[in-house]
């Protein structure tokens, strides 16, 4: 298996923080790696080092001469007024039919493909960027938090893309479900060290827990043995008959050492407001229309949510989920109809437009004291601040210097100090690390109030949602099934769309070279023979592909250098044969006018 990138003894620091401490890792072709670590551990910095945008303090990065890196850009690469298709043609240099074919894999068609790309939502722009990556034919994809702000459908499309992408990937993500679905290996950056695990994220986390338990048991046994030896030494070292044995036991004692067990890093502990449970309807929407400037996005909404429900508002980006939440909490006026809240409802809101408009000159503690319910003491505020990792001098920081993640945690802390029996949460997981999101889920499960929320984190929604409300095609409806049923339904739609595109690709010749070849008439016997050859080639491709996969799997398991070299030669030979057969298959497809 060919090496694409090798990092050796890498050292990188910012001030007092050591991001890489003599770190080592090797990335191989065709291996998809999930890259994990806490916020601030240095994952994005490490990617910039691999891309050559940052230099190491010491150590080296070796790159294969055949390396072609595709990096999912976070910045806006689009020109004013250009369409997605025009961008793809400009960026890749490929013909329009090829760009359109790749764009179709991400459901980019119609106005999404031919309209102004800058007017598309962030999720649709991400689809355009992914299509551009594919057109450059990279053999290593680097994706930094690719699921951030992506709706469920785009996440699933991205999963399908990565599963079938025939090359290596390095994916930074906090989304464990996404990593489980797409990556076969796990790379962790923790306290400056890189650890590669041949297995999925779930198996790696289980392995870490097992190693910790094993180390704790080993240390307990070592401590018991140390005490036993020390008692013998103390008892016999002064005795003429036991001094020799005591010296021998001392040597044994000196050889015993404890395994180092890392102390767990600080984790947020979120506690939801304590409220009295209530029964009956919480909020009703009566013939409600929502939108902006009297132009409705969704209309005819007839909706009722009960107290103590945890309702997940789901749907594609741009369909109106956030607009619905903002209308419910009176941040936006209805275009038509009414929103009626029940008696005694106190509503707490967590949304991006809230934590981006926090008072800049207040300190963390001043803000929490302002948000706290009457009668709360400074100690109460400090306790909540500490539970969300604002400790010591951090409580005196002015809000203007806080990071996005810190502001999100501060806004969450302000909600916890209130007496709200309704929580409206718009993408609460954005800017929060995995451990904080997990703590939030536990708090909401224990909460006796009502929760209305949007989230693209499937694990989070699955854990806490009691009912699903879908916003789609200008309508809002209570979805009858579970969240897993909804995911299955979206998956099925995407798969059917992919099958439809594959059928169209086989039945409609593209304009250009292929179409010219298709015009060349062939006799019935020739066509029959070509189709027979085509079927045989497809069987050969399938056989060689399975053979290559089996050799790659064996290569990953072997530790014998000689055996590894033999396997590498076999893989190269099979790969060469596979490329030749695939090329012949493509030629036949074009001759038949089916591709």
pLDDT digits (tens, 9 = 90+) for 127-161: 898 889 888 889 999 998 888 778 888 888 888 88
Give the model's pLDDT for residue 519: 36
Mean pLDDT of the chain: 83
Q: What is the pLDDT of residue 28?
A: 93
% the chain with pLDDT above 70: 89
What average pLDDT does range 453-467 have in this prediction?
91
The pLDDT value recorded for residue 506 is: 53
Which strand (E) or helix (H) includes residue 274? none
Question: pLDDT digits over 300-346, tens only?
Answer: 999 999 999 999 999 888 788 989 999 999 888 999 999 999 988 99
pLDDT of residue 354: 67
Banded pLDDT at 401 (limits 50, 70, 90): confident
Q: Say how far apart CA 155 and CA 393 lie, in whole Å.
A: 39
Q: Residues, the chain, total?
A: 595
The DSSP code for 5 is E
Element of type H or E holding 574: helix 561-591
pLDDT the model gives residue 173: 86
User: What local confidence, expressed as pLDDT, does residue 527 receive?
Assistant: 60
Residue 355 binned pLDDT confidence (cut-offs 50, 70, 90)? low
| Rounded mean pLDDT, 459-467 | 92
Q: Report yes or no: 561 and 203 within 8 Å, Cβ to Cβ.
A: no
Q: How large is the average pLDDT for residues 471-490? A: 88
- Range of 360-374, 450-464, 515-529 with top mean pLDDT: 450-464
Measured distance CA(272)–CA(269) in Å, rounded? 10
The pLDDT score that the predictor gives to residue 314 is: 92
- Note the pLDDT of residue 456: 85
For the domain 281-490, what is the CATH superfamily, name and number?
Answer: P-loop containing nucleotide triphosphate hydrolases (3.40.50.300)
Tell which phi-psi region holds residue 8, choosing left (phi > 0), alpha (psi between -120 and 50) or beta. beta
Confidence of residue 522 (pLDDT cuts 50, 70, 90): very low
Residue 315: both structure tokens together: 């749907």
- pLDDT number for residue 247: 86
Cα angle vertex 155, ends 152, 156, to 5°? 90
Res 469 pLDDT > 90: yes
CA distance 155 to 147: 6
CATH no., domain 3-200: 3.40.50.300
Q: What is the CA radius of gyration of the chain?
A: 30
> Quick count: other Cβ atoms within 10 Å of Cβ 520?
8
**For 21-78, how does the pLDDT look when each residue is reduced to its tens digit (9 = 90+)?**
999 999 999 999 999 887 778 888 899 899 888 899 999 999 999 999 988 766 678 8
* pLDDT for the residue numbered 122: 73
**Least-confidence region, from 249-253, 336-340, 531-535:** 531-535
State the DSSP code for 259. Answer: P
Mean pLDDT throughout 549-567? 73
pLDDT, average across residues 454-470: 91
Q: Is residue 391 scored above 90 in pLDDT?
A: no
Cβ neighbours of 239 (radius 10 Å): 11
Checking if the pLDDT of 521 tops 80, the result is no
Distance CA 471, CA 153 (A): 13
Mean pLDDT of 421-443: 84
pLDDT for the residue 156: 87
Residue 535, classed as helix, strand or coil, is: helix
Grade residue 592 by pLDDT with cuts at 50, 70 and 90: low
pLDDT value for 515: 39
The answer to whether the beta carbons of residues 577 and 558 sit under 8 Å apart is no
| Residue 463: band (very low, low, confident or very high) from pLDDT cuts 50, 70, 90 | very high
Confidence at residue 266, expressed as pLDDT on a 0 to 100 scale: 62
| Token digits of residue 103 | 């764009």
pLDDT value for 499? 64
- β-partners of residue 218 are none
- Over residues 523-535, the mean pLDDT reads 63
Strand, helix or coil for residue 44: helix
Q: What is the DSSP letter of 41?
A: S
Task: Give me the mean pLDDT over the 177-184 stretch.
Answer: 91
321 within 8 A of 314, measured Cβ to Cβ: yes
- Report the percent of the chain where pLDDT is more than 90: 28
Please list the alpha-helical segments (H only) found in 150-297: 152-164, 176-182, 201-236, 243-255
Count of CB atoms within 10 A of residue 225's CB?
13
Average pLDDT over residues 551-572: 74
pLDDT at 105 over 60: yes
Has residue 520 got a pLDDT over 50? no
Asked if pLDDT for residue 121 goes beyond 90, the answer is: no
Query: What's this model's pTM, rounded to 2 decimal places?
Result: 0.68
């Amino acid at each position: 298996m060919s090496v694409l990138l090798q990092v050796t003894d890498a050292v990188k620091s910012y001030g007092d923080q050591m991001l890489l401490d003599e770190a080592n890792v090797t990335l191989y072709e065709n291996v998809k790696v999930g890259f994990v670590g806490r916020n601030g551990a240095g994952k994005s910095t490490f990617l910039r080092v691999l891309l050559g945008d940052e230099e190491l303090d010491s150590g080296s990065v070796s790159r294969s001469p055949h390396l072609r890196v595709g990096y999912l850009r976070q910045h806006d690469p689009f020109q004013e007024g250009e369409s997605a298709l025009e961008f793809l043609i400009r960026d890749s240099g490929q013909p329009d039919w090829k760009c359109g074919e790749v764009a179709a894999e991400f459901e980019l068609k119609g106005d999404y493909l031919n309209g102004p790309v800058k007017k598309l939502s962030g999720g649709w722009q991400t689809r355009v960027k992914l299509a551009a990556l594919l057109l450059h034919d990279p053999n290593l994809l680097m994706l930094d938090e690719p699921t951030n702000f992506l709706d469920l459908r785009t996440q699933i499309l991205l999963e399908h893309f990565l599963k079938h992408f025939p090359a290596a990937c390095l994916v930074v993500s906090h989304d464990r479900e996404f990593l489980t679905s797409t990556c076969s290996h796990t790379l962790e950056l923790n306290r400056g060290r890189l650890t590669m695990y041949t297995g999925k994220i779930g198996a790696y986390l289980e392995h870490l827990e097992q190693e910790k338990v094993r180390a704790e048991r080993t240390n307990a046994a070592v401590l018991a043995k140390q005490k036993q030896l020390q008692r013998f030494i103390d008892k016999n070292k002064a005795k003429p008959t036991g001094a020799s044995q005591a010296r021998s036991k001392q040597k044994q004692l000196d050889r015993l050492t404890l395994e180092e067990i890392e102390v767990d890093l600080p984790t947020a502990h979120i506690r939801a407001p304590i409220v009295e449970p209530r029964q009956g309807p919480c909020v009703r929407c009566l013939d409600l229309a929502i939108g902006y400037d009297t132009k409705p996005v969704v209309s005819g909404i007839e909706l009722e949510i009960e107290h103590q429900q945890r309702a997940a508002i789901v749907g594609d980006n741009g369909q109106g989920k956030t607009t619905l939440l903002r209308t419910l909490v009176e941040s936006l006026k209805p275009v038509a109809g009414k929103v009626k809240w029940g008696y005694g409802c106190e509503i707490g809101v967590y949304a991006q437009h809230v934590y981006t408009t926090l008072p800049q000159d207040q300190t963390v503690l001043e803000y929490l004291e302002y948000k706290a319910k009457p009668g709360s003491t400074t100690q109460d505020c400090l306790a909540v601040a500490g539970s969300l990792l604002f400790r010591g001098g951090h409580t005196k920081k002015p809000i203007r210097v806080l990071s996005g993640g810190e502001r999100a945690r501060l806004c969450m802390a302000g909600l916890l100090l209130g007496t709200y029996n309704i929580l409206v949460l718009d993408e609460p997981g954005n800017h929060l690390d995995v451990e904080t999101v997990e703590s939030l889920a536990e708090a909401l499960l224990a909460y006796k109030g009502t929760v209305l929320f949007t989230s693209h984190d499937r694990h989070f929604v699955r854990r806490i949602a009691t009912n699903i409300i879908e916003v789609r095609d200008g309508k809002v409806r209570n979805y009858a099934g579970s969240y897993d049923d909804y995911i299955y339904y979206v998956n099925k739609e995407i798969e059917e769309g992919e099958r439809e595109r594959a059928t169209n690709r086989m039945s409609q010749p593209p304009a250009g070279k292929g179409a010219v070849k298709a015009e060349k008439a062939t006799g019935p016997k020739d066509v029959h023979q070509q189709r027979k050859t085509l079927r045989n080639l497809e069987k050969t491709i399938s056989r060689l592909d399975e053979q290559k996969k089996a050799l790659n799997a064996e290569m990953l398991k072997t530790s014998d250098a000689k055996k590894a070299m033999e396997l590498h030669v076999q893989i190269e030979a099979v790969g060469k044969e596979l490329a030749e057969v695939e090329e012949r298959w493509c030629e036949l497809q074009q001759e038949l006018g089916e591709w």
